Amino acid sequence: MPPPAKIGLREVTKSYASRRVTVEAVGPLSVEVGEGEFVVLLGPSGCGKTTLLNLVAGFEPPTSGEVLVDGRPVTGPGPDRVMIFQEPALFPWLSVLDNVAFGLRQHAHLSAAERRAIAERHLEMVHLEGFAQAWVHELSGGMKQRAALARALAPGPRALLCDEPFGSLDALTRERLYAELQELHSTTRKTILFVTHNTREAACLADRVLVLTVRPARVKRVIPVDLPRPRDFYDARVSVLAGQILAELRSEMNQERGTTDDRDPADG
């Protein structure tokens, strides 16, 4: 298994210029994410956290500053850092198994049988081995997101970039996936960069929570989380921490109220 990635953002800014206004979405912001670390980026809706993830994924270049993976600048998307989206984004024209095997097509050295075996192993990892031949629309919302997780893990990425992947699921499903994601993180030791606006989710999952400011996104506060794993979503210590994080987030939003307008919430 490839070693986890080290992600670095150095003095990164991102702004979007339209004809009438320039929107500053990010920065300047500097973050170092260690190998195998689980970092949660937490901020109010529209604060630029998805933009931040897009920069690391290589979907867009930063306006200034550097995005580094293991010290090398990111030049585009790559299977060493796979992004998981809010919607599962599974391909309806492929079976669940072929979806999971999709990222393996680039691995020319693997035979078809080997690709299949790897995909099956990852389906088992997310407890979907019985659904290999199902079509995507036959899965429930939670199963779809688990299949998306298997698809992201199958090519052996060194980092996972998660953009509120559980945001549209019901509470019960979500809580089960928190447990599964923690288990995957402890067994595979991927570096994980996870975006959310849910403080309890942040407290439950993170090694470190970065509370972001209202746009342009900067790091307002770094909160290390030393609670033992696996953490239960309803653990009292998780609740206490989530309360502290929420207080931090509220103070940020109160400070900004009145000084920003509601124009163009470019991302969530």
Partner 1 sequence: MTETRQTVRNTLALLAFLLAALILWQAVTALRWLPSYAFPSPAQVVARLWELAVDGQLWPSVRASVIRMALGFVLSAVLGLLIGLAMGTSELVNSSLRSVFLGLQTLPSAAWVPISLLIFGLSDAAIYFVIIMSSTAAMAIATADGIAHIPPVFVRAARTLGTPPRAMSTRVVLPAALPGIVTGIKLGWTLGWHGVVSAELIKSSVGLGFLLHAGRELNDAAQVIGIMLVTIFLGLLLDRLLFAAVERRVRARWGFAPVAARA
Q: Which residues bind partner 1 (CB under 8 A)?
A: 57, 59, 77-79, 81-83, 85, 87, 89, 91-94, 102-103, 105-106, 135-138, 151-152, 155, 161
3-class secondary structure per residue, 139-183? CCHHHHHHHHHHHHHCCCCCEEEEECCCCCCCHHHHHHHHHHHHH
CB of 82 to partner 1, least distance (A): 5
Q: Is the dihedral of CA 86, 133, 178, 171 positive or negative?
A: positive
- Tell me the helices (H) and strands (E) count for the chain, helix number first: 7, 10
Cα 113 from chain centre: 30
Q: Which CB, 81 or 218, lies closer to partner 1?
A: 81
Q: Which CB, 94 or 246, lies closer to partner 1?
A: 94
CB of 19 to partner 1, least distance (A): 18
- Paired with 10 in beta bridges are 66
Angle at 255 between CA 252 and CA 260, to 5 degrees: 100
Phi, psi of 30 (to 5 degrees): -130, 130
CB of 78 to partner 1, least distance (A): 6
Q: Which CB, 136 or 242, lies closer to partner 1?
A: 136
CB of 85 to partner 1, least distance (A): 5
Q: Which CB, 16 or 59, lies closer to partner 1?
A: 59
Count CB atoms within 10 A of the CB of residue 62.
25
CB of 86 to partner 1, least distance (A): 9
CB of 105 to partner 1, least distance (A): 7
The CA distances from residue 91 to 135, 144, 263, in Å, are 9, 11, 34
Tell me the C-alpha distance between 14 and 9, whole Å. Answer: 12
Q: Which CB, 164 or 252, lies closer to partner 1?
A: 164
CB of 122 to partner 1, least distance (A): 13
CB of 59 to partner 1, least distance (A): 7
Q: Which CB, 151 or 218, lies closer to partner 1?
A: 151
Contact present, 66 and 28 (Cβ < 8 Å): no
Q: Which CB, 162 or 217, lies closer to partner 1?
A: 162
Tokens for 15?
A: 């702004």
Q: Which CB, 43 or 103, lies closer to partner 1?
A: 103
Rounded-to-10 torsion of CA 93, 96, 97, 103: 70
